[in-house]
Amino acid sequence: MLEIQNLTKRFGGLTAVHDVSINFERNKINAIIGPNGAGKTTFFNLISGAIPPTSGKILFDGQDVTGLRADQVAKLGVSRTFQATNLFDRATVLDNLIVGHRLRTQSGLLDVLLGTRRLKEEERICRIKAQEALDFVGLSHVSHRVAGDISQEERKRVAFALALATDPKMLLLDEPAGGVNPEETVGIAELIQKLVKHGMTVCLIEHKMDMIMNLADKIMVLNYGEKIAEGTPAEIRANPIVIEAYLGSENAAA
């Protein structure tokens, strides 16, 4: 579904990502792991369109999307979460989610000033999509709570819901279980599996090894910006190069 060919990113003299090629398969859970500073988030930024690559190609569903902006990529169906999600803390959770479906709407300034039917209809749809997304992640009961009041785990789920509201085909999750306790991590993992069951393709960055090993269908390992391994969890676990890379750094299995 997402085909990466020789992707490279240089910042001046520093090469953050070097010649990475990989295929992320449809309807599977793909994971990217690697020691700190391996270039995982830069890689994410590249494929989500947040930064332009120095060289290489990105194909989404066969279409060349290299160099497109993040909003263009989002419109094509790739949605992304961040490690920290900025919500409007003084508004309700549901209120925060309504803008999630905005990219699928057409209403502009004229519609707003004239109060056209199209605007009303689109706002109705956005609200429905927001509620649906919230229901999907299991947070219907907080829809009217103030966003500043919810827990960290609930916040992570809201980030998922926001990405879901854009009607994506593929989700890029940046450390979805970050800052969340082991019990809640299981819940997040279940949610990710539920996403895939409903036809989504998932690609995530994570540091929590137990979670990744139990969850992922395919894992890519990055180190110093290069792909050092690719395969199933069993293959990765046994791969000597990967073990070496991790033992070399102080990043222990979570």
Partner 1 sequence: MKIIDGKIGWLLLLALAIAFPFFAAGNDYYLTVMATAYVFAIATIGLNLITGYTGQFNLAHSGFMAVGAYTVGILTVDHGWSFWPAFALSGFVASFIGFFVGLVSLRLKGHFFSIFTMCVGYIMYLLIEKWEGLTHGTVGIMGIPAPTGFAGIDFEAPRSQYYLVLFFLALSVWAMHRIANSLLGRTFMAIRNGDDLAEALGINLMRNKVLAFMLSVFYAGLAGGLYAGFVRFLGPGIASVEHTFDMTMYMLVGGIGTLLGPLLGSIAVPWLTQYLQFLQDYRFIVFGPLLIILVIFVPHGVVGSYLAWRARNASRLASEAAAKQAKTQTPAGGVIGRGQQKGSSHA
Which residues bind to partner 1, rule: CB under 8 A?
48-50, 69-71, 74-75, 79-82, 85-88, 90-92, 95, 98-100, 102-105, 107-109, 111-113, 115, 119, 122-123, 126, 140-146, 149, 162-163, 166
54/143 with CB nearer partner 1 = 143
Beta carbon of residue 232, minimum distance to partner 1 (angstroms, whole number): 29
Nearer to partner 1, 103 or 228 (CB): 103
What is the nearest approach in angstroms of partner 1 to the Cβ of residue 156?
14
38 or 173: whose CB is closer to partner 1?
173
Paired tokens of 42: 């830069």
For residue 30, the minimal CB distance to partner 1 (Å) is 18
Closest by CA position to 215, among listed 239, 242, 196, 243: 196
SS3 240: helix
Which token pair is 249? 């750094």
Between CA 236 and CA 96, with CA 156 as vertex, the angle to 5 degrees is 145
Strands, E assignment, 12-84:
14-24, 29-33, 55-60, 63-64, 78-80
Q: Give me the least distance between CB of 134 and partner 1, in Å please.
A: 10
- As measured in angstroms, the least distance from the Cβ of 165 to partner 1 is 8
Query: Tokens 């593929």 map to which residue?
Result: 170
Instruction: Select 149 or 210, whichever has its Cβ closest to partner 1.
Output: 149
Closer residue to partner 1, CB minimum distance, 84 or 238:
84
With b for 16 or more beta-carbon neighbours within 10 A and e for fewer, the 48-77 pattern comes to bbeeebeebebebeeeebbebeeeebbeeb
